[in-house]
């Protein structure tokens, strides 16, 4: 019964993530979703800035702290290990949904591309960023990354395989193609408002902090293999010659 319950919990967490990431695309692009980055309740600028920074800080703290090995070791004293990743994914998704719900628009226009063809190219570039994000997750292990693999293996009575260091396709050009995709998606906007700029800038700053923390963990996990990889492949811009 516990195995089935854990699997159902993992499935709910994954579906919540899927809804959240699809909503995030519409939120940034201002398409389809009922509340986007430039719509919603208007507030005084200082109030909007404070609320938006608080929402992004909440996500950053949750996302970074719960991903650390030391936290996982403490956390799994209270929750079963097979659902640890699903719990992380669910809480991250709920924190993002809270951000979308409570986000305050800051509509002052920083730049606006009036030429329709150029605006379409920039919008298309944003969606290319999202394609890079999704493609990169499947290149490693999409379902393990978002907790579904763990609960499925637990339901089937199989042990999780130990992590193996791999660099498939895009990972031979940059070390963090998922983060690169996010940066492209957030910054490629034909109309950049103050709120969108705040979101893109703070998210980009958090990405760099996240990379430092993540690479520390990866170096501890894979040792010299990751050190050599870091020397050979650049962080976000594919400028180094592959060897």
Q: Is the per-residue pLDDT at 171 higher than 90?
A: yes
In degrees and rounded to multiples of 5, residue 24 shows phi and psi of -60, -35
pLDDT score recorded for residue 243: 39
Q: Is the per-residue pLDDT at 190 higher than 60?
A: yes
Would you state the structure tokens that stand for residue 171, as one six-digit string? Answer: 């990972």
pLDDT score recorded for residue 41: 86
Return all residues near 6 (Cβ < 8 A) that are at least 6 apart.
80, 82, 83, 86, 151, 154, 155
Give residue-wise pLDDT tens across range 20-33.
999 999 999 999 99
The whole-model pTM stands at 0.94
pLDDT score recorded for residue 93: 97
Give residue-wise pLDDT tens across range 92-147.
999 999 999 999 999 999 999 999 999 999 999 999 999 999 999 999 999 999 99
Give residue-wise pLDDT tens across range 42-60.
899 999 999 999 999 999 9
**240 confidence band (pLDDT: 50, 70, 90):** low
Q: Is the per-residue pLDDT at 179 higher than 50?
A: yes
Give residue-wise pLDDT tens across range 198-226.
999 999 999 999 999 999 999 999 999 99
pLDDT score recorded for residue 67: 87
The answer to whether 28 and 96 have CB atoms below 8 angstroms apart is no
The answer to whether 220 and 163 have CB atoms below 8 angstroms apart is no
- Burial environment of residue 239 by CB neighbours within 10 A (0 to 12, 13 to 18, 19 or more): exposed
Average pLDDT over residues 74-79: 92
């Amino acid at each position: 019964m516990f195995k089935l319950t854990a699997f159902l919990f993992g499935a709910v967490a994954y579906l919540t993530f899927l809804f959240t990431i699809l909503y995030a695309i519409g939120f940034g692009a201002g398409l389809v979703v009922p509340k986007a980055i430039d719509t919603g309740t208007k507030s005084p600028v200082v109030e909007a800035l404070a609320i938006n920074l608080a929402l992004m800080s909440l996500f950053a703290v949750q996302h970074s702290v719960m991903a650390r090995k030391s936290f996982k070791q403490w956390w799994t004293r209270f929750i079963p290990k097979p659902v640890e990743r699903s719990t992380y994914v669910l809480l991250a998704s709920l924190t993002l949904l809270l951000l979308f719900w409570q986000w305050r628009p800051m509509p002052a226009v920083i730049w606006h591309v009036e030429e329709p063809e150029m605006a379409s190219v920039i919008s298309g570039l944003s969606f290319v960023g999202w394609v890079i994000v999704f493609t990169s997750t499947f290149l490693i292990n999409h379902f393990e990354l978002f907790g579904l693999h763990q609960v499925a293996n637990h339901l089937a009575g199989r042990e999780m395989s130990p992590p193996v260091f791999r660099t498939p396709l895009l990972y031979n050009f940059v070390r963090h193609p998922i983060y690169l995709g996010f940066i492209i998606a957030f910054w490629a906007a034909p109309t950049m408002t103050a709120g969108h700029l705040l979101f893109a800038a703070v998210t980009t700053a958090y990405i760099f902090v996240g990379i430092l923390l993540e690479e520390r963990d990866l170096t501890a996990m894979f040792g010299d293999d990751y050190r050599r990889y870091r020397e050979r492949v650049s962080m976000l811009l594919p400028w180094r010659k592959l060897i």
